[in-house]
Structure 1
Amino acid sequence: MNLLGVLSKYYDCDLAGPVAVCVRYSGDRGIWAVRQYLIEDADKVLWNLRSMRHRNLASTRECFRTPDILYTLGEFDPLILDHIVACKAFPDEQELAAIMSQLVDGLSYLIANNFYHTSLDCSGVLVNLNGHVKIARIDCCVIRQQGTIQASHLAPASRIMMELTHKYIKEDGAVGIDNLDRWRTYPAAIEFLCATASASSFEELREQRLMTEIPCCPGNLIGLAGFALISARTFYSYTPGPMKND
């Protein structure tokens, strides 16, 4: 695929949904992620993109529309939280704080702007090699009714924290630490996980010790992100094209 004669597709992969990874070989060279949506969903997707601007939400730089497809061009983030779950390393307390503080900020922004993400787990959260965490699948966001925060609005934080600390979600959806020996030295992580099942607002989660006492920043994730990139497997599809010099 060649978008407007500027970008050339290099390969396809699954990063919070199907992505065509494209390269610009001239001018402002770089790697970009191109996503596509059916034209009947285009108005909703465009409305969401125009309405949401936050550092912890996946952003779009440009859109291209054909009679059948809407294409969006965004930054290429090579990881999702699923890769971190899949790798052998368990995040430590500081790494968990770096992930969850960014996730809570993004989810809180959506709720404050009367949006609700209907389908979010570790497969829908992008991570780049600088440690920045971004909620993706923006097409799954819907307008919510104003009023009390529902348990379903907080559920993504609970599911994702459970996956990060256990590398699985319990079949009954229960939240709790199964391996106390592993997490005994990280009490703030245990407290935060338990709080995700009982909190009634994102403000309550922000008051937990994992958020207030554990010093963290996106840069705390660069080691874990690099290891996940090297060790975790990713679905991809690559078809060799003509030589670049042909």
Structure 2
Amino acid sequence: MTTEQNVATKLTGGLKRLGLPQVTLRGKSNDLLLGWDESPWKTFHHVFSCDLAGSVSIVNFRTHPSRLRAIRTFKKDEADIMLEKLKILRQENVHLAREYYNYGNSVYVVFDDLPLTLKQVVACDYYPNDHEVSAILAQILSGLSYLHTHGFDHQSLTCSNILLGMDGTVQIAGLEFCVKSSPNQSDSIESVATIATLLMQKYEKSSGSKGIGDIERWPIDSQAFQFLQETDNVETVDDLKEYILASGKYSKEVLAGLARFTLISARTSYSYPPKP
């Protein structure tokens, strides 16, 4: 019987021998994470660097320059733990690695290019509506529930560590802050409540207590307001996930306009140095 490891090895060798353009490998969440013992710069061209839930290099394929990816670089002594997580965590609402390159003293991990964080959404002038807030929260809870199911606790679940793609995909990033332990349900629920509050009104109360100040924008019968109240009543992330799914049907596509506006108004740190 062929093992998964053998399959991965055969695929790796086959792709090199056939010279297939890797841009065609549009990965799915249940695909194996493949690794290559070669320089990533044979395949990719560095465009610029920026901060997206950590420092990343935005690159394009040398053979298909219109296709972008994001590369995170890890030192080899840090990479083993991260790669172990990335091989296990294969879900669409968790930062999904596509492949990695083991070269020199570093490991280069390739991700899809999700160009925004929720921190930028909060900072822009656009106020998400009820459906948009719910579509974001539903995806966060999907990813968070998945992490908990696999025994991981995310200890820095903030707007800065949640990515937003132009198609409305939301992914929990900052996986270096995920540790193997019994999930702290109350802290996770509190983090989600904080994110919901920031999406709704752009700030938290100075006292740190929950609450929405603008009840004209967010009346008490709005879905987002009701969700925020529910965070005081549930005991687990799965309870909160079931609540929001029962409240309505949400599609990530409704976030495309929000993502587009945020992209033209967002400010982020970046650099444009030459790289190999």
After TM superposition, the score normalised by the length of structure 2 is: 0.79
CA distance in 2, matches of 1:5, 1:70: 15
Other-structure match for 2:170 = 133
Alpha-carbon offset, residue 186 of structure 1: 5.2
Unaligned segments of structure 1, at least 5 residues? 242-246
Residues 154 and 178 in structure 2, CA contact (< 8 A), matched pair in contact too: yes
Other-structure match for 2:84 = 47
Other-structure match for 1:204 = 239
Question: Amino acid of the residue matched to residue 100 of structure 2?
Answer: C
Aligned residues: 237
Deviations 1:7-38 (A, max 9, x none): 11110111111110111121586111010123
Residues 16 and 123 in structure 1, CA contact (< 8 A), matched pair in contact too: yes
Alpha-carbon offset, residue 215 of structure 1: 3.3
Question: Amino acid of the residue matched to residue 169 of structure 1?
Answer: E
Selected match of 1:158 from 184, 189, 193: 193
Whether 2:265 is the aligned partner of 1:224: answer no
| Corresponding residue SS for 1:230 | helix
Other-structure match for 1:244 = none
RMSD, aligned CA = 2.1
Deviations 1:176-201 (A, max 9, x none): 11221221175221111122244211
Against the structure 1 CA distance between its residues 35 and 128, is the aligned structure 2 distance closer, same or farther, given a 3 Å change threshold? same
Q: Identity rate of aligned residues, in percent?
A: 33
Whether 2:71 is the aligned partner of 1:37: answer no
Unaligned segments of structure 2, at least 5 residues? 1-38
Deviations 1:32-60 (A, max 9, x none): 10101232221110110011111101111
Residues 94 and 215 in structure 1, CA contact (< 8 A), matched pair in contact too: no
CA distance in 2, matches of 1:196, 1:171: 19
Correspondences of 1:43-192 after superposition (within 5 Å): 43-145=80-182, 150-184=185-219, 187-192=222-227
CA distance in 2, matches of 1:176, 1:34: 38
After TM superposition, the score normalised by the length of structure 1 is: 0.88
Other-structure match for 1:234 = 268
Alpha-carbon offset, residue 118 of structure 1: 1.0
Residues 220 and 226 in structure 2, CA contact (< 8 A), matched pair in contact too: no
Higher mean alpha-carbon deviation, 119-128 vs 151-160, is at 151-160
CA distance in 2, matches of 1:197, 1:105: 19
Against the structure 1 CA distance between its residues 65 and 111, is the aligned structure 2 distance closer, same or farther, given a 3 Å change threshold? same
